[in-house]
Amino acid sequence: MSAAFFTLHDDLPREGPGRAEDVAWALGLGGAMPGARVLDAGCGPGADISALLLAVAPGGHVVAVDAHAPFVHQAERRWGRDSRVTLVTGDMRDVDGPFDVIWCAGALYFLGLLDGLRVMRDKLRPGGLMCFSEMVVRVPAPDADLRAALEAEYPAIGDQTRLKGMIRAAGLDLIGQKILPRASWEAYFQPMEKRIAQLRPTADEDLAAVLDEAEAEIALWRRYWEQFGYALSVVRRPE
């Protein structure tokens, strides 16, 4: 990530669509789980840690890992002294399980979806729950400029049927799946729009390019939100 990219992203509350309500919905499908050991894989700045702790209280513990050290430093500012949280800078593939729950918001595709599902399945205890969000197309024929943008950003993107097939192929049982609502995207984009407005007047060439790209991403979603989105899936490793 470039310095200009981090100038935009530094201290944003989150790095992808999501809200506490989404965590509560997903973990709620697994029933009560006090004391559970949770992995937040690709935690970014740690936006979901609070809701994860709530879902596994009392006695739960969250191991939050991200490959990008500045995001982990952000999470450390809030959670560094909390004994219920362990923060790790590193690759999610290298964290030792087993976990009762794996939460992975917008980060599994970095591993390749099927490989990522298999790697994470092996870190779950038998019967353990994994909740992950993955970008999907929601219509059979997206508009041409959306298709071009998605192909450039995420060539392997598919629909919910493909996603369900991958889950089965990874040996996981699907418990629930929903498309994240618009509010989850606004929770990501609104703080970013405020930051763009602050930075724009004094941006140099590198930063202006990063701001342009972020604005284009937001505009694409505002125009085409009915045609693509994030599917939040809740799956279980069979006993």
Ligand X SMILES: C[S@@+](CC[C@H](N)C(=O)[O-])C[C@H]1O[C@@H](n2cnc3c(N)ncnc32)[C@H](O)[C@@H]1O
* Alpha-carbon distances, residue 46 vs 81, 85, 123, 181 (angstroms): 14, 10, 20, 20
Interface pattern 8-37 for ligand X (x via CB under 6 A): ------xxx-x-------------------
Q: Is 105 in the site for ligand X (CB under 6 A)?
A: yes
Q: Is 73 in the site for ligand X (CB under 6 A)?
A: no
Q: Which is nearer to ligand X, 107 or 163 (CB)?
A: 107
Residues 184-223 interacting with ligand X (rule: CB under 6 A): none
Q: Which is nearer to ligand X, 20 or 209 (CB)?
A: 20
Q: Is 110 in the site for ligand X (CB under 6 A)?
A: yes
Range in contact with ligand X (rule: CB under 6 A) among 63-71, 122-130, 151-159, 228-236: 63-71
Q: Do the Cβ atoms of 70 and 49 come closer than 8 Å?
A: no
Q: How far apart are CA 182 and CA 233, in angstroms?
A: 17
Q: How far apart are CA 63 and CA 49, in angstroms?
A: 9
Residue 90 C-beta: closest distance to ligand X, Å: 7
Q: Is 164 in the site for ligand X (CB under 6 A)?
A: no
Question: In whole angstroms, what separates CA 200 from the centre of its chain?
Answer: 27
Residue from 4, 27, 36, 42 touching ligand X (CB under 6 A): that is 42
Q: Which is nearer to ligand X, 71 or 221 (CB)?
A: 71
Q: Is 47 in the site for ligand X (CB under 6 A)?
A: yes
Q: How far apart are CA 98 and CA 129, in angstroms?
A: 11
Say which residues have a Cβ less than 8 Å from residue 231's Cβ, sequence separation at least 6. Answer: 133, 134, 135, 136, 160, 163, 177, 178, 179, 180
Q: Which residue has the tokens 């959306």?
A: 146
- E-strand ranges in the chain read 37-41, 61-66, 85-89, 99-105, 124-137, 173-179, 228-236
Size of the site for ligand X (CB under 6 A): 19
What residues make contact with ligand X under the rule CB under 6 A? 14-16, 18, 42-44, 47, 65-68, 71, 91-92, 105-107, 110
